[in-house]
């Protein structure tokens, strides 16, 4: 079955509202297609979310046309962690769908680092 055509923004999506500036965030990085902001309920001393600005509901909704975008999301992580003072390793996590415990249905990659112990994870 063909995948549904992606929307550029979903008016009911909290992360689309952050992209649009309708909900505030603590921004860590931004370019034409990606936004990175600090998680509102961090698990670790540094906990950011890397999101595409265009609405993609989850990792289950990407296709080959998103390969470059996904590569950029992952490639940004080490650079950001260095800039945010994380020098001893970090975790990356993409929760996908209901069984994957995804709470916000807009593709995002958690990037967490900093000295342990952490609140979670
Ligand atoms: P997930 O369970 O992978 O969908 O994670 C969603 C994450 O988004 C959680 O860690 C939340 O704390 C975070 N979150 C939800 N709303 C906001 C917000 N307005 N600003 C920053 N982080 C948020």
pLDDT the model gives residue 68: 98
CA 45 to chain centre: 17
Number of domains in the chain: 1
Q: Please tell me which residue, 117 or 1, carries the higher pLDDT value.
A: 117
Query: Three-class SS of residue 43?
Result: coil
In a domain, 24, yes or no: yes
Range of the domain at 75: 14-113
pLDDT score of 1 more than 90: no
Residue 118 covered by a domain: no
Centre of ligand 1 to C-alpha 1, Å, is 30
Mean confidence (pLDDT) of the chain: 95
Q: Is 8 inside a domain boundary?
A: no
pLDDT (tens digit, 9 = 90+) per residue, 59-115?
999 999 999 999 999 999 999 999 999 999 999 999 999 999 999 999 999 999 999
Is 1 contained in some domain?
no
52 falls within a domain: yes
Flag whether pLDDT at 5 surpasses 80: no
Mutate to test the pocket of ligand 1, among 40, 44, 73 (most ligand atoms within 8 A of CB): 40
CA distance 97 to 45: 26
CATH of the domain at 99: 3.30.428.10
Q: Which residues are catalytic?
A: 108
Mean pLDDT of 34-58: 98
Which stretch of DSSP H or E encloses residue 78? Answer: helix 67-83
Reported residue count of the chain is: 121
Give this prediction's pTM: 0.95
> At 8, is the pLDDT very low, low, confident or very high (cuts 50, 70, 90)?
confident
**Residue 2 in domain:** no
**Domain presence at residue 120:** no
Nearest to 5 by CA among 43, 44, 57, 50: 57
């Amino acid at each position: 079955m063909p995948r549904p055509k992606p929307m550029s923004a979903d008016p009911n999506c909290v992360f689309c509202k952050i992209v649009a500036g309708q909900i505030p965030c603590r921004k860590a990085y931004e370019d034409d297609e990606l936004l990175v902001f600090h998680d509102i309920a961090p698990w670790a001393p540094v906990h950011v979310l890397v999101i595409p600005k265009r609405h993609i509901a989850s990792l289950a909704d990407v296709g080959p046309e998103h390969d470059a975008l996904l590569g950029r999301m992952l490639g940004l992580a080490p650079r950001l962690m260095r800039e945010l003072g994380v020098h001893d390793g970090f975790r990356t996590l993409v929760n996908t769908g209901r069984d994957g415990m995804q709470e916000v249905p807009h593709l995002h990659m958690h990037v967490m680092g900093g000295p342990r112990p952490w609140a979670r994870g």
